[in-house]
Structure 1
Amino acid sequence: MSPRGVPRRPDRPWRRFVLLLAVLLGLAGGAPGTSLDPAVVLRGAGLSEVGGDGSAISVLSTDSLASYRMPGGARRWSVRLAAGAQLLAADGTRVVLGFDDGTNRAAAVLTGLDAATGAPAWRRTGYVPAVYGCACGDGVVVAEQYVPGGDQPATTALAGIDVRTGAVRWSLGTPPGGRREVVREPGEPVRIAMLDAGGTLRLYRADTAALVSAVDLQDPGPVEGLAISADRLLVYRYGLRNIVAGTVFDLGTGRRLWQRTAEPYGERLWWCARALCARANEGPILVLDPDTGRERWRLDGWTDLSAVTERYLLATPSPPDGRHLVLDAATGRVVRRIDGWEPAGDPAGTRLLVAGRGAAGTTLVARLDVESGAVTALGQAGRWSGPPECFTTGALLLCRLDQGRIPVWRLPAA
């Protein structure tokens, strides 16, 4: 993954909210006839990660992995694991794990287990996941392959490992003096970006490594990282802590559109929806036009902006104080104020998974539509001690709570 201040859509920025109690006091339940009690509560000591599809759920704990049949929650199997495992993919055929202690990449391992039994199905040594906790392609885990150099320094190549068989579907070496990035845009297939020393940028599909496009960039200069949003490319370089120079290019033509410098101390730069956001030190967030770099609008007193959709941005304060704003991405107009809820999962269109305090201090999980403000209660779990991390799979909603609890609810029809 890219280092310090990578200008990409932040992963789960929801955890920094503080809740207010009052908004929950009159909240109605979910759809008529739908119980807010969990259908089942799974448990795992030292709970780390959860994954799966609608028929089975895999739960990774400190030293074990367990699989549960859904929706009933009966345990199918459990296996002991070495420390440091990552859960990378889980579907009806395979559960894929990565093991890397960070000291010897040549000894890192990817392994696939039979989803029905937990028995080992395949094993690959010398591969490290390129993106933490991400399968990153249709049926493929994108990994870095350690390539010993003999008398020369060791190098790495990107490889696509087939989730079902463990076979290497493809391998791409990084061009000498070049840069590479796994590109993940909401609603877009995962791609691999390769920039060579001559300034040619190539985009490849993550599932097959088929070439999608190639373009010669107009004078990219020194490059330490890159990020893509739609047909715009940001390349950047670092100073001591933050980005000190960023340049935006047209991905179709390679034409250099504009450059921004922030010497000597640098600033954060990141894509927020289809605009570029910038923030230096404790100053306001500037929302910049991606074609010209001109300031569209600015936001004072808030720390983060992240995309809900291309049309809406969500503002987060620091320190948290229970306030959240939904803003029009084009103008900065406040569309809605959200108080008393903390987003608890990635958005699905205009709908957010949110959590708050329910009756008697319990944890209430709901779906909130940022356009209409409508709130639909989905489930109620044990006592609140902080916001959970939630996701949906199939017709199920799962939330990871404290003390190794994973309540599972059946989702009402949308």
Structure 2
Amino acid sequence: MALIELDLTARPGPAPTSIPPARRYRTAGLLLALALVLVLGGAAAPDALRWRFLGAIPSPPIPESPFQLDGDRVYTAGGLGGDRTVSAWSLADPPVKLWSAPVPAREVGPDQVPYGDVRARTAGDVVVITDGPSTTVVDGRTGETRWHSEIGVHPLTGDRFGLVEDPKFRPGTEYNQAGGAPGDIYFSAAGVPHIEPPLTTEFRGVDLRTGATAWTASAPGSVVFFNHPSGVVVLASDRLTLLSSATGSVLRTTTLPVLSGQRPQSGRLVGDVLLVSYGRSLVAYSVRTFRPLWQVPQAEDVADPGACSGLVCADDRSGTSVLDPATGHVLWHASGADLVRIGSDVLEQDTGTSEALRVSDLRNGDQKLALRGWSSDTPTADDGPLLLRRIGESRDSMFALIDDSPVALRPLGTTHGAVSDCASDSSFVVCRGTGVLQVFSYRG
């Protein structure tokens, strides 16, 4: 089960820039698979889906030029060294460039850790652009710069306010990267590593439109925050606190116990359930009340735990147990698979690869649909359906959608030649081709 460490401000990993090695399929096999897909998807309305190529967006084929699909927009980034440029494109037919905005590149000092590439996302009437912890906010209509911060700003529910998390360390605790001594490392908001945990962590709520500080709060030591519709959930080693996103006022708080000599180590939010790990124990709390719901044992130091997205899970020595969110009872067990919730079902995919294995029943793990030969490497928006793809003999990619009720694969269409990175939502698919982004819509 993927958890967020309380004692680490982890740097984000690099964005994927290529797909896993492609497999070649014989033409007859691919045609047969497509025919089966057509049969499986035949129960749905034929006019519900319509695969259309909208056009191409220029994009240099280099890792420093990522893209993000965000609603009916695509954001692209380019440039090396000095200033970067972020461009917004409307997904019309064909795509239309709305604006380009210069973004100052983050300068990485000798004691700082380099982060990933430039990212952009819409938050109300502004666009929040990040380069590692550095944040630039621009006007969503014009691309004009509104304000800039050297440390990270995390948009909160409602897209009106953002959160700045700023750990404060004891002087003289900076990590000597030249020495490379072993031990735990703790990162500041600017990416400077330290060998001791922070003394306190400051929170600042900021108005995303202006950058003005709306409220401040602090907590001792290292903490983890979670964005929830009811506010900001703050998990510390001794308590849970719910803060108002707009004012920072304390809406709810409770003291967390010590279990078998251990304090909370990490946490994960799944809907209205906050899972707090104590190492050998996993405790579930209701975000609505902060009351404990249940407690179960869990394995520590699992070598290769499977990821678990949108589900309540616990690690054990042989894999992952899927739990009932209300009671903590084990519903079923998965071994050697990452789990992703899709509606009332679960996608199982091979741990460490993007190969889709099967769609399983959320209640008991029974297989509903086999998916061998399909890849699940296309990130999908939270409100979008799950799309799979497979690479044909001519190197183009064929896409299919997983219907939830009844569970079935529905074919969408193919790309124009070979593509690498792809993203999708409830209406669009965008893939990186040679020097361009290929843009498709699939809703009628």
TM-score of the superposed pair, with normalisation by structure 1 = 0.73
Question: Which residue pairs with 1:200 in the alignment?
Answer: 239
Is 1:172 aligned to residue 217 of structure 2? yes
Q: Show the counterpart of 1:235.
A: 276
CA distance in 1 between counterparts of 2:302 and 2:410 reads 45
Unaligned runs of 5+ in 2: 107-116, 174-197
Q: 1:32 to 1:305 in 2, by over 3 A?
A: closer
Partner residue of 1:308?
A: 342
Q: Aligned pair 1:328/2:361, yes or no?
A: yes
**Aligned pair in 2 of structure 1 residues 285, 24: CA closer, same or farther (>3 Å)?**
same
**Compared CA separation, residues 119 and 247, structure 1 to 2 (3 A):** same
Distance 1:353-1:5 versus aligned 2 partners, 3 A rule: farther
Name which of 50, 61, 66 aligns with 1:48.
Answer: 66
Correspondence for 1:247? 282
- 1:192-232 CA distances to partner (integer Å, 9 max, x unpaired)? 222455x4312235465454533343445412212233454
Paired residues of 1:234 and 1:249 also in contact (CA < 8 A): yes
User: Which of 60, 64, 69 is matched with 2:85 structurally?
Assistant: 64
The 5-angstrom pairing of residues 9-408 of structure 1 reads 22=30, 24-26=33-35, 36-45=51-60, 46=62, 47-54=65-72, 56-62=73-79, 63-71=84-92, 72-83=94-105, 86-90=118-122, 93-100=125-132, 109-125=134-150, 127-129=151-153, 135-139=155-159, 140-145=161-166, 155-173=200-218, 175-177=219-221, 179-183=223-227, 189=229, 191-196=231-236, 199-206=238-245, 209=248, 211-219=250-258, 221-237=262-278, 244-251=279-286, 252=289, 254-255=291-292, 257-262=294-299, 268=305, 273-280=310-317, 283-290=318-325, 295-300=330-335, 302-309=336-343, 311-318=344-351, 324-343=357-376, 344-346=378-380, 351-357=385-391, 360-386=394-420, 388-392=421-425, 396-408=427-439
Counterpart contact for 1:350–1:371, Cα < 8 Å = no
1:307 & 1:145 partners in 2: Cα distance?
33
Q: Rate the CA distance shift 1:145–1:339 in 2: closer, same or farther, 3 A.
A: same
Find the residue that maps to 1:339 and give its secondary structure. Answer: coil
**Distance in structure 2 (CA, Å) of the matches to 1:379 and 1:80:** 36
Percent of pairs with identical residues: 17
Separation of aligned partners in 2, 1:36 and 1:258: 47
Question: Residue 347 of structure 1 contacts residue 353 of structure 1 at CA under 8 Å; is this kept in 2?
Answer: no
How much has 1:379 moved relative to structure 2?
4.5
- The answer to whether the 8 Å contact 1:50/1:60 transfers is no
Q: Equivalents in 2 of 1:159, 1:35: separation in Å?
A: 46
* Distance in structure 2 (CA, Å) of the matches to 1:151 and 1:211: 33
Tell me, in whole angstroms, the C-alpha distance in 1 between the residues paired with 2:74 and 2:301: 49
Q: Which secondary structure state, in structure 1, belongs to the residue aligned with residue 158 of structure 2? A: coil
Output the amino acid matched with 1:138: G
Cα separation, partners in 2 of 1:112 and 1:178, compared to 1, 3 Å: closer
1:194 to 1:372, Cα distance in 2 relative to 1, 3 A: same
Question: Given the superposition, is the C-alpha separation of residues 411 and 318 from structure 1 closer, same or farther in structure 2, using an over 3 Å criterion?
Answer: closer
Aligned length: 376
Task: Please report the RMSD computed on the Cα atoms of aligned residues, expressed in angstroms.
Answer: 4.2
Cα deviation, residue 59, structure 1? 1.3
Residue of structure 1 equivalent to 2:195: none
Call closer, same or farther: CA 1:163–1:379 in 2, change over 3 Å: farther
Q: Shift of residue 315 of structure 1?
A: 1.1
Q: Residue deviations 1:321-373, cap 9 Å, x none?
A: 95511112221211221234323233767932222336843223332214434
Matching residue of 2:112: none
Q: TM-score, normalising length from structure 2?
A: 0.68
SS where residue 209 of structure 2 aligns? Answer: coil
Q: Is the 8 A contact 1:95 1:115 kept in 2?
A: yes
Give the Cα separation in 1 of the matches to 2:354 and 2:66.
Answer: 28
CA displacement, residues 119-164 of structure 1 (integer Å, 9 cap, x when unaligned): 2222234x2245xxxx342223333246688899775423333332
Contact 1:112–1:121, Cα closer than 8 Å, also in 2: yes
CA contact (8 A) 1:42 1:73 kept: yes
CA distance, structure 2, for counterparts of residue 150 and residue 256 of structure 1: 41
Contact persistence 1:289–1:296 (CA under 8 A): yes
What is the rounded CA distance, in whole Å, between the counterparts of 1:78 and 1:232 in structure 2?
A: 41
Cα displacement (A) at 1:42: 0.8
